[in-house]
Amino acid sequence: MIDSHIHLSIKSYDQTFPYIDYDGEGFIIAAEGRRDTLIQEMRRRGVSCCIEPAIDVDSNELLLELSRESSGFVRPAAGNHPTRCIRSKLGDFKRVRDYAGREGIVAIGETGLDYHYERSQQHRLKQKIWFQWQINLADKLGLPLILHIREADEDAIRILRRNRKKLHGGVCHCFGGGVDRARIYTEELGMCLGIGGTLLMKPKYRGQLEEAVIATPIEYLLLETDGPYVKPERPEGVTDKKWTKARNTSLILPAVAEKIAELKGMAVEDVLRITEDNTRRVFVLNA
């Protein structure tokens, strides 16, 4: 298994913390652990590597350091998140470009557009400037993109269509849209869809996503968690407080694969094998 999107270097994993596990029947909160012991457990349970995109400019350095410390278990992507780039300075373009040229970088991202917050707080023009700049950077380096698109598909698709010849593949992370949108990102733009905890939430959150997973060829799907975020539906017997404190982890990937297998009428083993092959192809991972 490969987790195509997680944030292991962030502060949520710095101290001892409770984390979410999957025991084959349901989700549980495991005994508290640390980042290093969690990575050991993920490896033991069949996670071969994780891809971690940058959130803000400073996080690029943190994830590169974690990649070195983990002997390449964490595969870094360099970039500047759409909700963070609005606070960036002019010199941050050079910093991200420098990070993108480091050894081991597998993608540019996460980048895109995020219109979730109040219009006055979105700074859409600055988001679009950074999005276009990161598309250009990925093209220059021949790297795929890790897209973060939230409530902004119309503008994002317009920009991606305009830059179709500059795209080198990638993934629309945390995809939650319907069939028509999935076809645009995959068949038209050549992107894969990152499928994670949203597929394991309550039906009202996952309805159109289930339809998209059924309709989308398995060759376009990647597994992800977005840990510590995008958690599955809280299991019975676990309080809201405990579930809020627990960190999401790559240990839930088998549950995501099981749900995809159920929807597509496939064997779980085939889903795990094909999605790992997809991830290796998109990010050119040889080992």
Cα–Cα distances (Å) from 145 to 78, 105, 111, 114, in that order, read 10, 12, 8, 16
Of 19-33, 73-87, 132-146, 166-180, least confident by mean pLDDT is 19-33
- Residue 29 pairs in a beta bridge with 20
Residue 287 has pLDDT above 80, yes or no: no
More confident residue, 202 or 50: 50
Supply 39's token pair: 């990575």
Residue 197 has pLDDT above 90, yes or no: yes
Q: Buried b vs exposed e over 62-95: b needs ≥16 C-beta within 10 Å? A: bbbebbeebeebbbbbbbbbbbbbbebeeebbeb
Correct CATH for 2-283 of 3.30.365.10, 3.20.20.140, 3.20.20.20, 3.40.250.10: 3.20.20.140
Residue-wise pLDDT tens digits, 207-227: 899 999 999 999 999 999 999
Residue-wise pLDDT tens digits, 107-145: 999 999 999 988 888 899 999 999 999 999 999 999 999
Would you list the domain boundaries of the chain? Answer: 2-283
Residue-wise pLDDT tens digits, 9-65: 999 999 999 999 999 999 999 878 899 999 999 999 999 999 999 999 999 999 999
- DSSP state, residue 119: H
Mean pLDDT, residues 170-175: 98
